[in-house]
Amino acid sequence: MNYQIREEAGFRYVDEGQGDVLLLLHGLFGALSNWDSVISNFSDRYRVVIPLLPIYEMPIRQASLEGLVAYIEKFVAQKDLHGMMLLGNSLGGHLAILYTFKNPDQVRGLVLTGSSGLFENGMGGSFPKRGSYDYIAERVAYTFYDPKVASKELIDEVFEITSSIPKCMSIVGIAKSAQRNNVAKDLYKIQVPTLLVWGLNDTITPAEVGHEFNRLIANSELYFIDKCCHAPMMECPDRFNQLLDGWLAGHLVSELVG
């Protein structure tokens, strides 16, 4: 998928299409490319906006979920976005939840896939070792049901990140912040329609985490994708997009009818 990475007021982002806004948030080791299939499938009828989160560039004292939510708030204000459908994978889902808590009037609907916030088995249960390419390759493959989805390009990207001491320090800070920010007791506050799409074989946020989100968010629908792990929009894009398309169309139509 070819799309332009724009730069404005210190933000780097994708902004494709027109219409109702889909704001997409990537995870801790994620990138804009994680959402390629969503951009290509939805930008013909929605405005797809994806900020590149400054996970590895934040000053260490600001490396937290609170700091990232503040960044998203500034980005939304800069782009003058309103009435968004907010989508998040992994850490991005966690950020989407926290943003919705703080800005309920800005969010029309929420889509969570493999979201942290209740429980997360980070990097397969261990901290990323610096300097070991084989270890990083193994951990990246652990994120997918089919290890072949872990391309060399993706492994190289994560290896570069974990080879940097400052970036590793930011990762640790944000990971600790995520552990502190358990959202279970506050999920009742989410009143907007919520779509939960989970890989049935998720090793990072297992299937029971999806069930727990479904139990705690009143107006939520949960779907599992078989033979799929932690990033359904990457590993099973056709099924993910089918679920998202039907859910978006149903809720936007129901708003118009209502």
Tokens at 16, concatenated:
């494709």
- Mean pLDDT for the chain? 89
Residue 60 lies in a domain: yes
User: Which one-letter amino acid corresponds to residue 37?
Assistant: S
Residue 162 lies in a domain: no
Determine the pLDDT at residue 67. 93
Give the 3-state secondary structure of residue 110. Answer: strand
Question: What are 50-64's pLDDT values in tens digits?
Answer: 999 998 888 878 889
Average pLDDT over residues 20-24: 97
**pLDDT-derived band at 253, boundaries 50, 70, 90:** low
How far is it, in rounded angstroms, from Cα 163 to Cα 72? 27
When comparing pLDDT for 118 and 33, which is higher? 118
Determine the pLDDT at residue 148. 85
Determine the pLDDT at residue 129. 55
pTM to 2 decimal places = 0.91
Classify residue 99 by its DSSP letter: H
pLDDT over 90 (residue 162): no
Which has the closest alpha carbon to 85: 148, 170, 174, 25? 25
pLDDT over 90 (residue 160): no
CATH number at residue 90: 3.40.50.1820
Residue 160 lies in a domain: no
Residue 239 lies in a domain: yes
Question: What are 202-247's pLDDT values in tens digits?
Answer: 999 999 999 999 999 999 999 999 999 999 999 999 999 999 999 9
Question: What are 26-36's pLDDT values in tens digits?
Answer: 988 777 778 99
Determine the pLDDT at residue 101. 97
Residue 78 lies in a domain: yes
Determine the pLDDT at residue 222. 98
Domain count of the fold of the chain: 1
The rounded percent of the chain whose pLDDT value lies above 70 is: 93
Determine the pLDDT at residue 258. 46
How far is it, in rounded angstroms, from Cα 206 to Cα 204? 6
Residue 242 lies in a domain: yes
**Residue 213 near residue 222 (C-beta atoms within 8 A):** yes
CA 173 to chain centre: 18
Tokens at 22, concatenated:
């889909």
Element (H, E) at 239: helix 237-257
Give the 3-state secondary structure of residue 118. Answer: coil
pLDDT over 80 (residue 46): yes
**Residue 58 near residue 170 (C-beta atoms within 8 A):** yes
Residue 125 lies in a domain: no
Domain extent, residue 231, equals 6-119+175-257
Determine the pLDDT at residue 43. 96
Residue 81 lies in a domain: yes
Determine the pLDDT at residue 126. 43
